[in-house]
């Protein structure tokens, strides 16, 4: 999951329409994209998520907005990494594929690692794929793989140094 979140947006040219959703902190991350869209006179819609929005209101408003978009639209979401992690299932449910969305995030993100030995979950901040960590339950050294289980909402930790 966190390998799909970038810290800098990349402009993707040639889309039918661009959709931008951000909050106050994410605005700086998405500003270069807005400038490109304006300079090229491309069609885009913009949704700003205010401070007073609850997570449930944000999900409902975002769902309504995105369900009314046409095929061929490209979505930029610039929010905290935790918000992006929580919104991703909704974005996929609506029908946006990986190559139609950029998740641009700031801040820390908590991720879990599934131990292949004792099957426990260890939560970490800002997890890096390929890094080593100790299982909090059996204390074995694990290598964090890029395999992500939606069932466990966790990355697989393989035994390191085998």
- Name the helix (H) or strand (E) containing 37: helix 27-40
Question: Does 51 lie in the same domain as 27?
Answer: yes
Give the domain range for residue 126.
110-159
70, 73, 64: which is closest to 102 by C-alpha? 73
- pTM for the whole thing? 0.76
Question: Does 125 lie in the same domain as 74?
Answer: no
- For residue range 99-144, list pLDDT tens digits in order: 999 999 999 878 899 999 999 999 988 788 889 999 999 999 999 9
Q: How many domains does the chain have?
A: 2
Question: Does 88 lie in the same domain as 43?
Answer: yes
In whole angstroms, give the CA distance from residue 130 to residue 100.
Answer: 27
In whole angstroms, give the CA distance from residue 34 to residue 52.
Answer: 24
Question: Does 117 lie in the same domain as 93?
Answer: no
Which residues, in sequence order, are bridge partners of residue 24?
Answer: none
């Amino acid at each position: 999951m966190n390998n799909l979140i970038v810290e800098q947006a990349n402009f993707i040219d040639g889309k039918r329409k661009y959709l931008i959703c951000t909050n106050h902190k994410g605005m700086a991350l998405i500003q270069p994209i807005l400038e490109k869209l304006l300079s090229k006179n491309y069609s885009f819609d913009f949704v700003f998520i205010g401070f007073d929005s609850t997570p449930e209101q944000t999900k409902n408003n975002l769902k309504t907005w995105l369900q009314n978009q046409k095929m061929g639209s490209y979505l930029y979401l610039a929010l905290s990494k935790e918000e992006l992690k929580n919104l991703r299932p909704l974005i996929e449910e609506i029908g946006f594929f990986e190559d139609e969305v950029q998740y641009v995030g700031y801040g820390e993100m908590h991720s879990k690692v599934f131990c292949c030995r004792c099957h426990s979950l260890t939560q970490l901040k800002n997890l890096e794929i390929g890094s080593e960590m100790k299982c909090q339950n059996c204390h074995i050294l694990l290598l964090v793989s890029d395999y992500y289980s939606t069932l466990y909402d966790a990355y697989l930790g393989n035994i390191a140094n085998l």
